[in-house]
């Protein structure tokens, strides 16, 4: 009996170890609505430790491929383009994937897509977009201020960072009672206000956010850490949190 009990305990321990040490299976959306940098982003992701990254198409998501992944990344580009390409079936498959424990990481366009503010949105994040009219407010480096939790989760040794911005969403709580409130991990502390965008709107809006959606996790960056020198570690940490690999954050 003692031997049987020992073997059972050892088996359970090895099973848990295998679960935690196997690569995080990452699906990276690469279809209508992505920006020109998705291939470069894919190559950068493949260099990060502990990940197995696969490019996925909208039709594959519609056909159930997400069962093979731990998280889905929707990258920069056009949130509307991605949402419409996914169609309702694809969008619903993503929602169901997250509901049962999958992870979602949205960057720029992928953050727009996560909100509950458009008819093509995923309704994963209880967020609305501020000043939709001036979404094309410019691109370049911006200052982002992090909460203590945001700094810890993303491995920062200070509460501010400069990150490349390319017309990502200015987020604020949508107060949708059907979606959990998000946690504001960082806010914009400087702004871009080109192409007629009014000044004074961007500062103070949410730049980085995290939330849950039933059994799954949702993480969104409005700016682009993957396009900022030295910031891919932030992406890795966001992936691991979204996949539930660093639950002690």
Q: For 81-112, what is each residue's pLDDT tens digit?
A: 999 999 999 999 999 999 999 999 999 999 99
Give the predicted TM-score (pTM) of the model.
Answer: 0.91
Question: What's residue 245's pLDDT?
Answer: 83
In the structure encoding, which two tokens stand for residue 168, read together?
């990502």
Question: What's residue 246's pLDDT?
Answer: 66
Does 16 have pLDDT greater than 50?
A: no
In the structure encoding, which two tokens stand for residue 82, read together?
């991605």
What is the DSSP-derived secondary structure letter of residue 198?
P
* Contact criterion met (CB below 8 Å) for 35 and 75: yes
Average pLDDT over residues 58-75: 98
- For the domain spanning 22-242, the CATH number is 3.40.50.880
Which contacts of 43-51 are long-range, i.e. CB under 8 A and separated by 24 or more positions? 44/226, 44/232, 44/235, 45/73, 45/235, 48/232, 48/235, 48/236, 48/239, 49/236, 50/23, 50/24, 50/240, 51/23, 51/24, 51/26, 51/236, 51/239
Does 131 have pLDDT greater than 70?
A: yes
Which candidate, 12, 45, 15, places its Cα nearest to that of 227? 45
């Amino acid at each position: 009996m003692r031997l049987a009990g020992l073997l059972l305990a050892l088996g359970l321990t090895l099973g848990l170890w295998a679960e935690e040490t196997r690569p995080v299976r990452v699906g990276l959306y690469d279809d209508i609505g992505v920006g020109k940098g998705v291939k470069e982003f894919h190559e950068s992701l493949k260099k990060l430790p502990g990940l197995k990254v696969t490019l996925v198409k909208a039709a594959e998501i519609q056909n159930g491929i997400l069962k093979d992944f731990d998280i889905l990344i929707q990258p920069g580009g056009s949130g509307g383009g991605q949402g419409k390409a996914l169609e309702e079936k694809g969008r619903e498959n993503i929602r169901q994937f997250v509901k049962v424990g999958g992870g979602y990481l949205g960057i720029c366009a992928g953050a727009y897509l996560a909100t509950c503010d458009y008819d093509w949105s995923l309704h994963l994040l209880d967020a609305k977009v501020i000043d939709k009219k001036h979404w094309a407010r410019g691109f370049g480096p911006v200052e982002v201020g992090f909460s203590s939790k945001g700094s810890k989760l993303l491995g920062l040794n200070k509460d501010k960072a400069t990150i490349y911005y390319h017309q990502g969403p200015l987020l604020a709580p949508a107060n949708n009672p059907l979606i959990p409130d998000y946690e504001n991990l960082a806010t914009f502390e400087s702004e871009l206000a080109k192409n007629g965008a009014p000044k004074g709107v961007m500062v103070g809006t949410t730049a980085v956010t995290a939330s849950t959606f039933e059994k799954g996790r949702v993480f969104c960056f409005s700016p682009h850490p993957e396009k900022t020198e030295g910031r891919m570690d932030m992406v890795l940490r966001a992936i691991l949190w979204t996949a539930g690999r660093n639950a002690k954050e």
